[in-house]
Amino acid sequence: MEEKIIKTEYSEVMQKSFIDYAMSVIIARALPDARDGLKPVQRRTLYDMHELGIKYDKPYRKSARIVGDTMGKYHPHGDSSIYEALVVLTQDFKKGLPLVDGHGNFGNIEGDGAAAMRYTEARLERVTQEAFLADLDKDVVDFIPNFDETEKEPSVLPAKFPNLLVNGSEGIAVGMATSIPPHNLAEVIDATKAYMKDESITNEGLMKYVKGPDFPTGGIVINKDDLAEIYATGTGKIKVRGKVDIEKGKGGRTNVVISEIPYPMIGANISKFLMDVAALSETKKTMDIVDISNQSSKEGIRIVIELKKDADVDNFVNMLYKKTRLEDTFGVNMLAIANGRPETMSLKQVIKCNVDFQFEVTTRKYQTMLEKELARKEIQEGLIKACNVIDLIIEILRGSKDRAMAKACLVEGKTDGIHFKYKESKVMAAQLCFTENQANAILDMRLYKLIGLEIQALIKEHEETTANIYRYEDILERRDSMAQVIMNDLDEIKKSFSRPRRTVIENAAEAVYEEKKVEEMDVVFLMDRFGYAKCVDTATYERNKEAADAENKYIFTCKNTGKVCIFTNTGQLHTVKVMDIPYGKFRDKGIPIDNISNYNSEKELMVQVTSQTSLNLYRVIFVTKQSMMKVVDGGEFDVAKRTVAATKLQDDDEVVSVEILDGQKNIVLQTMEGFFSKFPIEEIPEKKKGAVGVRGMKLGAKDGVEAVHYTGAGYEQTIMYKDKPLELGRLKLGKRDSKGTKVRG
């Protein structure tokens, strides 16, 4: 075969390929269809279970069988995605109305995953069978070829209620995402009926029925007034709180019991909540907590926080709302596939989309049923007519040579070749005009059908068929009749599957709590060479001064309400609240500074650690490896952020020294090649922290500053250089930006 080379712009190929990929993800994977509220993987899984006959009243089947069959026939995207979709469809803490009945470990609300698919079993729920799959044999939806065109699958399931609202949906596509909260089935059905009775009803009118989201985990929606805007635009934020009960504990203590959690907290966020509550106690945000226990079980959530006798319970609960995820936000973005394209929909648009779909499905259903009834009526009328002339028909059958001759006589009145017993019979036979179908039915009729009771049953059946035809034609011709049929189905679903609302909708005041003021006092910060930090009171330090000085690299006094500042060689400043540093006994190990700050010991080195109080009182001098230096007012480092840039560095440069200026007169720069430059500190200009600074000394091509020394009151005048003492006072005092003096060891 001859090769064909197509020349085109690379950017055009990339653009087209990305658009095709994005549309595939949006339409065929991540977003639900507004009509049945299902994503393709969910729809295919449910349909496959229906095809396998795993109905609600049949035995469970292994999940692995369901997943394998779905993947092989309809969804070639890997078994994990199919099984995860199946698991979510079984979880009553995620779905307002689970569509699959799971048997085995399908995970729990605390974030534990489901068992492997070879261990679990599943079958369809009754509501799925009756409200999603029951009418598939009546040509109610279009069937499309599967991925390899060996099977047919429904393009959408004929859902009888707005499942998009009842079960909600979450998904991330390319450039867009959907997040729809679950709602109460009974309320959604009432709103759907209200829309069918008055299509001009507004979103506000529909909200008389749909009060708001109804999360499976319960909780309290606290911004009721915002819901109207959210349901009108399809976007917004719903604030949800957990339900808190107050119980009497042992010894006169009070127990704060959390019995319902916000919907976004399900999963691993429950354990994070417990850690956050424990952290409030560890960081001294509250001193009221005695014990925390998670007593949750299959019966429901029960998290117990035991408080001290004199605790302010209301203030503590408000602190939980403000400082933990006991109050959380559910971001609403009601994005779904409508008319073949993604659309952000209002409450009314979602209901309208489903109602329009219901009318389409019902029309196709009753057209199919009408055609079957008309065909049945034709046969019945033929059999009744045949019973009235049964003697003639028997005579025709006995006189015919074959079936074709008898059939021709019944349909067209042809009597040629047929032997009749009586001449009158031939005349009557020539007048017969049964239809093809009626003639076949007569020829296939068994003799017992001629029994009187059977004939009466046939007449009665014909009357029922005629009544059905009249009813079906009425439903198809009158929209009111069809609407009543749909509403009757909705009433039946509501009666069989609805449950009381779990989530409370109200307007609640913002949680306000008063932080107990910590008594300000001096503490001593200690950090060893391994980066373990702790604080002790001043009296403890004085008693253990000798051991503390020997074991720790950084030691200084600071306020317990202040901050510790860490300058690194990368030019960063990391701040840590002193309250976050463990305060206790001298022999306590402390905590790695990495754990309570943004400092990363694997990527940067500490150059200086000091208190915010000292920085506010003094100026700071910076020296880098390339001998760039500057003086900065320490007040510039009094920042709210945990990490800021302390200085600006040139390429391939790093900070060598950060020192607080307190009585130093001269600075001595020491380079890697043994040059020393000594000059007055007053020659270094004061700059802002965002400046690079000025050059301190001229360096060789491969040289760089490796150490910085100072002279003045309280500073060492002699250092060790190449294992020999070097008196800094004997170095010649020069000027900044000189080459310095070479010192040989």
What confidence score (pLDDT) does residue 116 get? 95
What's the chain's Rg over C-alpha atoms?
A: 42
Residue 341: band (very low, low, confident or very high) from pLDDT cuts 50, 70, 90: confident
Count up the domains in the chain and report the number. Answer: 4
Point out the domain boundary residue: 159, 193, 215: 159
Note whether residue 514 is domain-resident: no
Region of poorest pLDDT, from 276-280, 411-415, 498-502, 530-534: 411-415
The mean pLDDT value of the chain amounts to 88
Same domain, 452 and 393: yes
| Average pLDDT rounded to a whole number, residues 527-541 | 91
Do residues 476 and 482 touch, judged by C-beta distance below 8 A? yes
The residues pairing with 644 across neighbouring beta strands, listed in sequence order, are: 573
Is 194 contained in some domain? no
Residues 425, 538 within the same domain: no
Confidence of residue 447 (pLDDT cuts 50, 70, 90): low
Can you say how many angstroms the Cα of residue 441 is from the centroid of all Cα atoms in its chain? 59
Over the stretch 43-59, which tens digit does the pLDDT of each residue have?
Answer: 999 999 999 999 999 99
User: What percentage of the chain carries pLDDT values higher than 90?
Assistant: 56
**Which segment of 187-196, 359-368, 465-474, 724-733 scores lowest on mean pLDDT?**
724-733
142 with 261, same domain? no
Catalytic residues: 119
Question: So what's the pLDDT on residue 725?
Answer: 86
* Tokens standing for residue 616: 């506010």
Task: Check residue 296 and give its pLDDT.
Answer: 86
Residue 67 pLDDT > 70: yes
Question: Which pLDDT does position 20 carry in this prediction?
Answer: 61
The whole-number pLDDT of residue 714 equals 67
Residues 594 and 666 both lie in one domain:
yes
Q: What is the dihedral of CA 597, 602, 607, 609, to 10 degrees?
A: 20
Does a structural domain hold residue 332? no
pLDDT at 22 over 60: no
Q: What pLDDT shows up at residue 385?
A: 82
Q: Is the domain of 359 the same as that of 450?
A: yes
- Assigned domain for 542 exists: yes
The confidence score (pLDDT) of residue 250 equals 83
Span 373-400, average pLDDT: 83
The reported pLDDT for the residue numbered 675 is 92
Q: Are residues 415 and 306 in the same domain?
A: no
**Quick one: pLDDT at residue 84?**
94
Q: What is the CATH number of the domain that holds 124?
A: 3.90.199.10
For the segment 463-488, what is each residue's pLDDT rounded down to a tens digit?
A: 899 998 999 999 999 999 999 999 99
Q: Report the distance separating Cα 57 and Cα 76, nearest Å.
A: 29
CA distance 70 to 45: 6
Query: Does the structure show a pLDDT above 60 at 27?
Result: no
Considering only residues 201 and 716, tell me which one the structure prediction assigns the higher pLDDT: 201
Local confidence band at 192 (pLDDT 50, 70, 90 cut-offs): very high
Q: Are residues 320 and 360 in the same domain?
A: no
Helices (H) and strands (E) in the chain, counts: 21, 35
- 654 and 562 in a common domain: yes
- Same-domain status, 263 and 154: no
Residue at 206 is within a domain: no
pLDDT, tens only, 581-634? 888 788 888 889 998 899 998 889 999 999 998 888 899 999 999 999 999 999
pLDDT digits (tens, 9 = 90+) for 136-152: 999 999 999 988 889 99
Give per-residue pLDDT as tens, 400-422: 888 888 888 888 878 887 777 77
Coil, helix or strand at residue 183: coil
CA 625, CA 699: separation in Å to the nearest integer? 10
Domain that residue 288 falls in: 243-325
The answer on pLDDT for 515 being more than 80 is no
| pLDDT, average across residues 122-145 | 93
If 0-12 CB within 10 Å is exposed, 13-18 middle and 19+ buried, where does residue 684 land? buried
Domain CATH code at residue 584: 2.120.10.90
Cβ contacts of 124-127, under 8 Å, gap ≥ 24: 124/46, 124/49, 124/50, 124/54, 124/55, 124/56, 124/99, 124/100, 125/56, 125/98, 125/99, 125/100, 125/101, 126/56, 126/57, 126/496, 126/497, 127/97, 127/99, 127/493, 127/496, 127/497
pLDDT of 427 above 80: no
CA atoms within 13 A of residue 82's CA, in its CB half-sphere = 25
For residue 619, how many other CB atoms are within 10 A of its CB? 17
End-to-end CA distance of the chain: give it in Å, rounded: 81
pLDDT bracket for residue 448 (50, 70, 90)? low
Residues 548 and 438 in one domain: no
Examine the domain organization and report whether 530 and 492 are in the same domain: no
Q: What is the percent of the chain where pLDDT is above 70?
A: 95
Asked whether residue 353 carries a pLDDT value surpassing 90, the answer given is yes
Kindly report whether the global pTM for this prediction surpasses the value 0.85: no
